Amino acid sequence: MNSPADPRAHERIAVIGAGLIGSAIAWRLTHEGHKVLLIDRAEPAHYGASFGNAGHVATEQREPLPSLGLLLTFWRQLAVCGGPVDIPLHRLLSLAPWMARFAAAALHQRRNTPALAALVRPAADALERALREIGHPELLVRHGHYKFWWGAGSAARAARAAGAAAEFEVRTEPAPAQLTQAIEARAPGRVSGLWFPDSAHVIDPQSVAAALVTAAVQAGARFEQCEVREIRGVGERLLVDSGDVQHRVRAVVVCAGVQAAPLLRPFGLRAPLTAERGYHLEFAGARALTDAPVVYAEHNLIVTPMQGRLRATSYLEFNRHGAPPDARKLQRLRSTLERLGYRSETHHAGWVGSRPTLPDYLPGIGRAPHAPLYYAIGHQHLGLTLSAPTAEVMAALIAGRDPPVATAPFDLGRFGRAAPLTGAPS
């Protein structure tokens, strides 16, 4: 059952999914002395959302998205009105239950905010700690980020944003005049900006995951490339089945991004994840305006300086995971970037990836009721940001320690129970 090369596999904890969440958890568990088997169908952070994100450690994003205000005004954000949100008509029916939950979550935004904020607030420190432990502090840049608004009302909008940030104890300062002028010179108009000094960015999200996995493997973890078809209970242990290979392990942590739900369902766990797809374009060799991400508020995009290139990301497209990219969106993004002064000698075809999003925009972090089956999923727009804090919480849950933040709000039980399938431990 276990491969003969790994006779102690039954002592291992299997982590399924080597995106940023699984990689951070694999490192943290290994660092704490656990034997870890990390499994992904591809190289770390190659297949999922972790590959192509904006690299922004968004410690300022402390409120879950669903709000009463958004319910009333979301139509203005729709692609048909020039906004970043696209809900394809053919998806409306299948998305209806998710949207109903989204609307219900809007009523609980005040209750849910402290739970998310507790996880987000220490995120840059936690990621810096993890990257120092593995000897790669250079992957994180702690210069904050900038946000700019255009037009006659831009100063008022920036002031309102600073006030809203202060309510959540997020520090802001006016953007430096030199940078504001540089932005205005490239895309004329009246511009006002803010600096968020306590956020951060990484110079390549995939390198972060790869470095965490390499460190874990050097410390004794195993990485195996295969697709997990099923997890089932065998006595006190769990069996991770990929068809060709089965691993009997003492616990499993499911970090399978937008594809986690079928692996959790046999354990009675309901994970109403949707793919909230985002796109990126890259500009090889382009010089950054500043060594920090720049958010263009009205253009709904963020440009992040990354190793040897700039990466621009945008859109919230509620399409099926795996659907072909929408070439019109990439074209629109390219044109907007050109208007903002970003040009490239080389052509980048673009990338699309699925943010794994639960309808209340809280992650799912916890344990199945009757099995050593843990989960860390649904990190929506914040999976890079929350990678290290989630790993610290997961390590505490597995060790039976009090986690650094309360995990009850992240328990998947909030979505009710799925009917267990056969093979799950009772």
Ligand X SMILES: Cc1cc2nc3c(=O)[nH]c(=O)nc-3n(C[C@H](O)[C@H](O)[C@H](O)COP(=O)(O)OP(=O)(O)OC[C@H]3O[C@@H](n4cnc5c(N)ncnc54)[C@H](O)[C@@H]3O)c2cc1C
Q: Does the footprint of ligand X cover residue 227 (CB under 6 A)?
A: yes
Q: At what angle do helices 20-31 and 387-399 cross, to 10 degrees?
A: 50
Q: How far is the CB of 145 from ligand X (least distance, A)?
A: 9
> What length is written for the chain?
426
Contacts of 164 (CB under 8 A, 6+ apart): none
Cβ neighbours, 10 Å, residue 256: 29
Please identify, using beta-carbon distances, which residue of 52 and 409 lies nearer to ligand X: 52
Q: Does the footprint of ligand X cover residue 22 (CB under 6 A)?
A: yes
Listed ranges 124-132, 190-198, 254-262, 413-421: which one lies at the site for ligand X (CB under 6 A): 254-262
Rounded to whole angstroms, the Cα distance separating 39 from 43 reads: 9
- For residue 234, the number of C-alpha atoms closer than 13 Å in the C-beta half-sphere is 15
Listed ranges 27-35, 165-173, 252-260, 331-339: which one lies at the site for ligand X (CB under 6 A): 252-260
Listed ranges 2-10, 20-28, 169-177, 232-240: which one lies at the site for ligand X (CB under 6 A): 20-28
Cβ neighbours, 10 Å, residue 122: 16
Please identify, using beta-carbon distances, which residue of 41 and 142 lies nearer to ligand X: 41
Q: Are 268 and 368 in contact (CB under 8 A)?
A: yes
Q: How far is the CB of 387 from ligand X (least distance, A)?
A: 7
Q: How far is the CB of 361 from ligand X (least distance, A)?
A: 11
Q: Are 152 and 144 in contact (CB under 8 A)?
A: no
Q: Among 21, 141, 264, 337, which residue interacts with ligand X (rule: CB under 6 A)? A: 21
DSSP string, 224-260: EE----EEEEETTEEEEE-SS-EEEESEEEE--GGG-
Tokens describing residue 199: 């956020």
Rounded to whole angstroms, the Cα distance separating 175 from 194 reads: 5
Q: What are the C-alpha distances in Å from 64 to residues 20, 106, 259?
A: 20, 9, 22
**333 burial level (CB within 10 Å; 0-12, 13-18, 19+):** buried
Please identify, using beta-carbon distances, which residue of 24 and 154 lies nearer to ligand X: 24
Q: How far is the CB of 59 from ligand X (least distance, A)?
A: 10
Please identify, using beta-carbon distances, which residue of 340 and 388 lies nearer to ligand X: 388
Could you tell me if residue 399 is left (phi over 0), alpha (psi between -120 and 50 degrees) or otherwise beta?
alpha
Q: How far is the CB of 260 from ligand X (least distance, A)?
A: 7
Q: Are 152 and 298 in contact (CB under 8 A)?
A: no
Q: How far is the CB of 103 from ligand X (least distance, A)?
A: 22
Please identify, using beta-carbon distances, which residue of 154 and 201 lies nearer to ligand X: 201
* 311, β-bridge pairs: 282, 304
Cβ neighbours, 10 Å, residue 198: 19
Please identify, using beta-carbon distances, which residue of 154 and 202 lies nearer to ligand X: 202
274 φ/ψ angles, rounded to the nearest 5 degrees: -125, 155
Q: How far is the CB of 306 from ligand X (least distance, A)?
A: 11
Site for ligand X, residues 277 to 336, rule: CB under 6 A:
278, 280, 313
Listed ranges 89-97, 256-264, 282-290, 316-324: which one lies at the site for ligand X (CB under 6 A): 256-264
Site for ligand X, residues 342 to 401, rule: CB under 6 A:
353, 355-356, 379-385
Please identify, using beta-carbon distances, which residue of 146 and 154 lies nearer to ligand X: 146
Tokens describing residue 276: 């909230």
Please identify, using beta-carbon distances, which residue of 154 and 299 lies nearer to ligand X: 299
Please identify, using beta-carbon distances, which residue of 16 and 36 lies nearer to ligand X: 16
Q: Among 144, 193, 233, 257, which residue interacts with ligand X (rule: CB under 6 A)? A: 257
Q: How far is the CB of 57 from ligand X (least distance, A)?
A: 6
Q: Among 25, 79, 194, 228, which residue interacts with ligand X (rule: CB under 6 A)? A: 228
Among 57, 26, 49, CA closest to 126: 57
User: Per-residue x/- mask for ligand X, residues 31 to 60, rule CB under 6 A?
Assistant: --------xxxx----xxxx-xxxxx-x--
Total residues in contact with ligand X, by rule CB under 6 A: 40
Q: How far is the CB of 114 from ligand X (least distance, A)?
A: 19
Q: How far is the CB of 184 from ligand X (least distance, A)?
A: 25
- Residues in contact with ligand X by CB under 6 A are 16-22, 39-42, 47-50, 52-56, 58, 227-228, 255-257, 259, 278, 280, 313, 353, 355-356, 379-385
